[in-house]
Amino acid sequence: MPRGLARDHADKRAAIRRAAAGYFARAGYAKATMAGAARACGTSKALIYHYHASKEALLSDILEAHLAHLLGVVEAVPDGPAEARFRALVAAILAAYRDADAEHRLQIDALATLPDEMQRPLRAMQRRLVARMETALVGLRPDLAGSDRLKPAAMSVFAMLNWYFLWHRPGRDIAREAYADMVADLVLGGLPAVAA
């Protein structure tokens, strides 16, 4: 009879994802090794391989968990007036990025290194995130629906949010919540000028 999963299986796997993400981001995914990941996790290489068959499988798991969390956050933003919904979406995304700098860096830098079959579901999750932003922008500017400007507008919002982790210094720069308001203000002020 096969042995069942340990009661703490999900917690151990999440802890491995978290520590390995930090290690991969610091070392650079291309240079990182599973032995290094095991050291960063404070565990054996054999245990890492118990949860993940390869370095690519570990990266895929890290990115899938990160993107699934982001999707859950954006899909939980309630409907309401278009401006309020847009502001809530921007704030929710930036809040979800808190304490996920390593995962976010890997999404940007390492996703493309995965084999196509591992990239496909992750890219599909990214497209769902972009579609949510596009829907919010169409709520503000219905005439952008179907326009070739819609996706670039959505990607521009993500660009402002995605790079916050690179330049922000806690306690020295604008707070996350204030920056979310600033991004929303920039978009709301500039979106009317975008040609459909």
**Highest-scoring range by mean pLDDT, 3-7, 9-13, 128-132, 177-181:** 128-132
In order of their start, the domains of the chain are: 55-193 (1.10.357.10)
| pLDDT score of 182 | 92
Q: What are 28-39's pLDDT values in tens digits?
A: 999 999 999 999
Question: Does residue 7 register a pLDDT over 80?
Answer: no
Model confidence at 4: pLDDT above 60: no
pLDDT of residue 163 exceeding 90: no
Which residue did the predictor score with more confidence, 169 or 136? 136
- pLDDT tens for 175-187 read 889 999 999 999 9
Strand locations in the chain (E): none
pLDDT digit string, tens, across residues 20-66 = 999 999 999 999 999 999 999 999 999 999 999 999 999 999 999 99
Contacts 24+ apart (CB under 8 A), 68-71: 68/125, 69/96, 69/100, 70/96, 70/125, 70/129, 71/125, 71/128, 71/129
Q: Across all residues in the chain, what is the average pLDDT?
A: 92
Q: How far apart are CA 132 and CA 135, in angstroms?
A: 5
